[in-house]
Chains A and B, each alone.
Chain A
């Protein structure tokens, strides 16, 4: 992989040049939190943000989208508006890039989703490295570093950025900026290593994921699930904000006075009462405890069986967004804790 350096004072120039590749979106502040948004001015970008309320997932799998129109005589006509729009997401953290790589396996693997794939093709990602806060555990989830899934990835080393070039498009962006990107010299290699070490030391949370699926398996009947079930509000917030929750629901909106309409898909959540409700009236996960349990099992165990790793990337969003304070790290800690069975 090509690694270059960009002097900090040249970032503005880079940002203005890069707009020829698409509409520029970056984290901007919203009442003390951050959201990815189209920039009206480059100075609105906040590259030192902690985490956005919604992950970049919203660009690739929007909360709600029309997928096709249906009309008697015409059949089904896919809605393709906006799919070819070129966007540049500037400032995506490693865990969120990792999450996109996970979503790729779901939407661009065995079952191909043309809407997702079109957007993934047309939306460029410029990543930026970050330092963990008290809710980040991406390192434990092996998602604190990415080697693919982005076009460029920036490391802030103080005076300049080190830029990993991930794709040909990333390289084009570098070329288009002329000579502002420079090769790295030997002394600067240490800057990278130092930064990498500092980042590793900054993590306040640590969870062990080796043999976690096995522990989940053993703790299937743990009373913890009922406790969480009593607390959980089924509000769905944790799924909405999760960069790897990909469940969606599909519904038809018929037009007044015709048999034509629109088919829409919208984000869904396994915490909702009707997520596992089927036509016969049977609900495979009726009690709330079984739904919250399912969320953890799918992330930390089911996904491992299917794709070889947990789908959780440790971004910390769900713990931040839960009104009743259900915290994934605490849940895992609690499951791993050795408890004297006699005293339970």
Chain B
């Protein structure tokens, strides 16, 4: 049987998730023994840009018409499309400005030339095409990428935690930054998988992995307001990585 074909792509993002893949150093040889990576611009200048793909992994958000066209073309080529990282899954940092007037922002950054630029409010991949699997994180966790490939090769979807960062944080028996120190920790509504990396280092979670499926941001916001935080500041914090993370 021939090896499954894979393509790895970046739209508008920081390339951090593709870097995580390249950083799976000790697993890369195993990986290329199992799959045939045909199209991966960040790693190779010799790519097949038209071939059909069994798995396409796409990083970044859709910020331009060009992004949207590229994504639709990838979707056409791919049996399975995987969103890679918080920008692809949620819109991420670039989606922070959703709802703001784009014209003046473009002008502020690019001056007169801004008006002619191909630029639109950031969208997550699923808002443009059908996405089969999400691997969230800013950036993604190496283990989640490897387990995705391992499971997909077996015809399964990988299982990632659906519970929030607090659960992992408590499992690690950390002191709670929100309760004991009154810090604005987003752990209660942010999806786990990072093993509570930040609270473990006594730094409050800023929600980089995006919200859990049934997040209750309104209740968390109320708690933070009780602790004396400014509503707008907290709403901005909650929506920093995912517009869906903030109360409506």
Contact = CB atoms under 8 A, between A and B. Distances in A.
Interface in B132-190: 146-147, 149-151, 153-154, 156, 159, 162-164, 166-167, 170-176, 178-180, 187-189
Interface string A308-324: 00000000000011011
Contacts of B31: 256
Interface residues of B, number: 41
A272 interface: yes
A237 B216 contact: no
Nearest to A271: B163
A253 B31 CA distance: 17
B170 A256 contact: no
Contacts of A272: 162-163
B33 A257 contact: yes
A323 B166 contact: yes
Contacts of B146: 256
Contacts of A323: 166, 176, 178-179, 188, 220, 223
A31 interface: yes
Contacts of A54: 170, 173
A115 B8 CA distance: 42
B30 interface: yes
From B154, B166, B173, name the one whose CB has the most chain A CB atoms within 10 angstroms.
B173
Nearest to B35: A257
A30 B175 contact: yes
Interface string A143-176: 0000000000000000000000000000000000
Given A256-B30, A269-B167, A233 B219 contact: yes
Nearest to A286: B214
Nearest to A273: B214
Contact of A254 (B27, B154, B167, B214): B154
B113 to A, nearest CB: 46
A257 B30 contact: yes
B154 A259 contact: yes
A255 B154 CA distance: 10
Contact of A234 (B154, B156, B164, B171): B164
Given A240-B170, A256-B34, A321 B179 contact: yes
Contact of A241 (B162, B170, B180): B170
Interface string A236-264: 11001100000000010111110100000
Interface in A180-223: none
Contacts of B179: 320-321, 323
Interface string B19-43: 0000000010011011000000000
Given A30-B175, A272-B162, A288-B214, A233 B220 contact: yes
A163 B16 CA distance: 59
Nearest to A236: B167
A288 B212 CA distance: 13
B123 to A, nearest CB: 25
Nearest to A241: B170
Contacts of A273: 162, 212-214
Chain A, interface residues (CB within 8 Å), range: 35 or more
Contacts of B159: 251
A116 to B, nearest CB: 17
A54 B150 CA distance: 34
Given A54-B173, A254-B151, A32 B214 contact: no
Nearest to A291: B214
A230 interface: yes
A35 B173 contact: yes
B187 A235 contact: yes
B162 A257 contact: no
A231 B178 CA distance: 16
Interface in B175-234: 175-176, 178-180, 187-189, 212-216, 219-220, 222-223
Contacts of B173: 30, 35, 53-54, 58
Contacts of A31: 175, 180
Given A54-B170, A254-B150, A259-B154, A233 B189 contact: yes
B156 to A, nearest CB: 7
A267 interface: yes
A85 interface: no
A324 B189 CA distance: 12
9 contacts: A30-B175, A54-B173, A232-B219, A233-B189, A233-B216, A233-B219, A257-B34, A321-B176, A323-B178
Interface of B: 27, 30-31, 33-34, 146-147, 149-151, 153-154, 156, 159, 162-164, 166-167, 170-176, 178-180, 187-189, 212-216, 219-220, 222-223
Interface of A: 30-33, 35, 53-54, 58, 63-64, 230-237, 240-241, 251, 253-257, 259, 266-267, 269, 272-274, 288, 320-321, 323-325
Given A235-B164, A236-B163, A324-B223, 16 more contacts: A32-B180, A33-B180, A53-B175, A234-B163, A234-B216, A236-B167, A236-B170, A240-B171, A256-B146, A256-B149, A259-B154, A272-B162, A272-B163, A274-B162, A321-B176, A324-B219
The 3 A-B residue pairs with the shortest CB-CB distance in the complex, in nearest-first order: A240-B170, A63-B171, A235-B166
